[in-house]
């Protein structure tokens, strides 16, 4: 049994694209079944987070070192107090509003300014390929989204805005100091776009932290991974759903949620709207979720030997 990694995800997304092109009807997404979980309020300290976020940028709009009056011990509790799916899936943590609007704006502007790689250029293998793709947008037509990747094992210079986010993730203890985030994948979605069910795989430390910016909200689904192939397209196996707010939220998932569950965002929605299911832990069943332009920044620690 091997966990599905990005390459496998791309392969599956390409396969699905081919199937759709050959007029195969897309597999029907079934209604979500199961127990009704009451909406769980996140109990993080709003004060601490707001203070923290406000200190990310100075009045001049430049990033600055984090303010000293924000105590590490307060910060280290922010995440542990934000466990959102405790009764269903223990290792999922969610903070609805972590980034302040000023920082979010800067980050969005900077991401938009990244160059785009020519899709016709052929990739080269190993580190040469990584350097070529580093910090550039690439349109994945078969997957219907754009991605930009940063691998700081290979390119050592970390852009200041990403450094701020890495520092933040370390200070709230989303990552251990021994294994800081060294890999960032930025996904850009339009309102109809999503990502197939997958796990991030064993090339990374078993934790993923994702910031959502640019406005569009989405429903993030956790499904139980099938033991045989790691892929789960069967919505009967839905375990938990989380509304990811599109203006500066953070979701972190680790351990069992990382290893034994797939995550996905639906791409078969109509009129830019989807509805929270009974498995949603932070929106009531039936709540209308307004999709839109969304950028996600996913931070991971990639092991040294992984390609
Ligand atoms: O956009 C997201 O929130 C999810 C991204 C993701 O699952 C991935 O890049 O593997």
Q: How confident is the model at residue 37, as a pLDDT?
A: 33
Q: Is the Cβ atom of 243 under 6 angstroms away from ligand 1?
A: no
Q: Which atom of ligand 1 is nearest to the CA of 210?
A: 3
Mean pLDDT of the chain: 81
Range among 9-13, 114-118, 272-276 with highest mean pLDDT value: 272-276
Smallest CA separation from ligand 1 atom 8, residue: 298
pLDDT digits (tens, 9 = 90+) for 257-281: 999 999 999 998 889 999 999 999 9
Q: d(Cα 97, Cα 52) in Å, to the nearest integer?
A: 11
Alpha helices in the chain (DSSP H): 6-21, 46-54, 72-80, 101-112, 126-133, 160-171, 255-259
How much is the average pLDDT of 14-20? 66
**Which residue is listed with tokens 């219907």?**
144
Q: How confident is the model at residue 65, as a pLDDT?
A: 57
CA 234, 254, 208 angle in degrees (round to 5)? Answer: 85
Q: How confident is the model at residue 27, as a pLDDT?
A: 35
Q: Is the Cβ atom of 151 under 6 angstroms away from ligand 1?
A: no
Query: At 137, which helix (H) or strand (E)?
Result: strand 137-140
Q: How confident is the model at residue 38, as a pLDDT?
A: 35
Output the CA 31–ligand 1 centroid distance in Å: 22
> How many other CB atoms are there within 10 angstroms of residue 110's CB atom?
13
40 half-sphere exposure, CB direction, 13 A CA radius: 27
Q: CA 232 from chain center: how many Å?
A: 18
Mean pLDDT check: name the lowest of 17-31, 51-65, 124-138: 17-31
Q: How confident is the model at residue 80, as a pLDDT?
A: 82
Q: How confident is the model at residue 122, as a pLDDT?
A: 63
Tell me the CATH number for domain 33-117+138-300.
Answer: 2.60.120.590
Q: d(Cα 240, Cα 242) in Å, to the nearest integer?
A: 7
pLDDT digits (tens, 9 = 90+) for 173-220: 999 999 999 999 999 999 999 999 999 999 999 999 999 999 999 999
Q: Is the Cβ atom of 254 under 6 angstroms away from ligand 1?
A: no
Predicted confidence (pLDDT) at residue 29 exceeds the cutoff of 50: no
Output the CA 296–ligand 1 centroid distance in Å: 7
How much is the average pLDDT of 27-38? 29
Cβ-based burial of 137 (10 A; exposed 0-12, middle 13-18, buried ≥19): middle
């Amino acid at each position: 049994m091997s966990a599905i990694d990005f390459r496998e995800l791309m392969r599956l997304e390409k396969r699905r694209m081919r199937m759709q092109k050959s007029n195969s009807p897309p597999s029907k997404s079934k209604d979500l079944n199961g127990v009704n979980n009451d909406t769980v309020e996140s109990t993080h300290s709003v004060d601490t987070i707001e203070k923290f976020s406000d200190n990310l940028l100075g009045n001049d709009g430049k990033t600055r070192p984090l303010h000293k009056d924000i105590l590490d011990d307060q910060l280290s509790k922010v995440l542990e107090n934000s466990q959102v799916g405790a009764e269903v899936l223990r290792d999922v943590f969610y903070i609805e509003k972590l980034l302040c609007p000023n920082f979010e704006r800067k980050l969005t502007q900077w991401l938009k300014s990244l160059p785009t790689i020519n899709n016709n250029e052929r990739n080269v293998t190993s580190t040469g390929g990584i350097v070529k793709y580093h910090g550039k947008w690439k349109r994945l037509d078969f997957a219907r989204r754009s991605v930009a990747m940063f691998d700081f094992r290979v390119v050592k210079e970390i852009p200041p805005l990403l450094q701020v986010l890495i520092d933040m993730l370390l200070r709230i203890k989303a990552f251990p100091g021994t294994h800081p985030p060294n890999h960032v994948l930025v996904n850009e979605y339009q309102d109809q776009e999503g990502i197939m069910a997958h796990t991030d795989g064993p090339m990374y430390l078993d934790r993923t932290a994702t910031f959502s910016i640019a406005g569009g909200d989405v429903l993030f689904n956790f499904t139980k991974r099938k033991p045989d192939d790691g892929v789960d397209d069967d919505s009967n196996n839905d375990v938990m759903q989380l509304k990811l707010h599109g203006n500066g939220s953070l979701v972190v998932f680790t351990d069992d949620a990382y290893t034994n569950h797939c995550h996905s965002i639906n791409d078969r929605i109509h009129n830019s709207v989807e509805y929270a299911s009974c498995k949603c832990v932070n929106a009531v069943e039936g709540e209308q979720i307004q999709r839109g332009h969304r950028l996600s920044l996913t931070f991971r620690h990639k092991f040294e030997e992984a390609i």
